[in-house]
Amino acid sequence: MIVQPTTVRRPILVALTTVLALSLSGPALSPAHASAAEESAAPTEKITLDVVTVNGSGCPAGTAAVSVLPDNTGFRITYRDFIAQAGGEAKPTDFRKNCQVNLLVHIPQGFTFAIARADYVGRARLEAGATGLQRTNYYFQGSSDNSYADHSFDGPYRALWHTIDATPVHELVYAPCGEVRSLNINTELRVDEGTVNPTKISSLSMRSSEGNVETIVHFQWKTC
């Protein structure tokens, strides 16, 4: 069973595109340039990613990987040890885990892109009275903006979960043509055991060991 919670604070990618517009130091697309650019299918020339750093309590060294989707429509992040838990014999520090991925996206000349959508899949094992939280924010290096969106879960809840952050087409903001900026994706999981069953462990995870559990970030392309 795949569950898509509806308790989202606000669409994260709308916040992300706002950060993109404010944080890039290169020249922004003027209205004339914006009207000249045309939405496009993904370029046929392969895009590449340089992973600058992957770190955090939710992704110890060697437990997370980033790869470009074969059709150039985005990229995938997989985790092997990303789990937050509380209650029972869980360690006090286990209630919150995070993973920050810092990468550079290299795209073919003549194209630019926006982040249009992000899909998150994981598993919840929450006892009655327990709660879980998934929070993700995206920002470009040098930006002080810290916009984010929350997806919350209430126990009892034992199922796969699927959350989606999407930006309407008319609100997409594209990176300036020819510019390369370091993109940070910081994802956080939290669990509160509550007061009903605090002696039992509750958990929220994004771990590939539990099946097809991953994050997929989708691009929208334009020609310059």
- For the chain, the structural domain boundaries read 2-223
Q: In this predicted model, what pLDDT tens digit does every residue of 105-135 receive, in sequence order?
A: 888 888 887 778 889 999 999 999 999 999 9
d(Cα 145, Cα 20) in Å, to the nearest integer? 10
Question: C-alpha distances in angstroms, 74 versus 77, 108, 163, 211, 219?
Answer: 10, 14, 17, 21, 5
- Greater confidence (4 vs 216) lies with 216
d(Cα 141, Cα 51) in Å, to the nearest integer? 14
Q: What is the dihedral of CA 92, 57, 133, 190, to 10 degrees?
A: 0
Q: In this predicted model, what pLDDT tens digit does every residue of 141-189 receive, in sequence order?
A: 665 555 677 899 999 999 989 999 887 787 776 777 777 777 888 999 9
Instruction: Please give the average per-residue pLDDT across 86-112, as a whole number.
Output: 91
N- to C-terminal Cα separation, the chain: 42
Residue 224's SS3 state is coil
Is the confidence at residue 218, as pLDDT, over 60? yes
- Computed over every residue of the chain, the mean pLDDT equals 77
Instruction: Please give the average per-residue pLDDT across 40-69, as a whole number.
Output: 87
Is the confidence at residue 28, as pLDDT, over 60? no
What's the gap between Cα 60 and its chain centre?
18
Residue 9's SS3 state is coil
The predicted model scores a pTM of 0.75
Indicate the range of 78-92, 174-188, 202-216 predicted with least confidence. 202-216
**Under a CB-based contact definition with an 8 Å cutoff, are residues 185 and 75 in contact?**
no
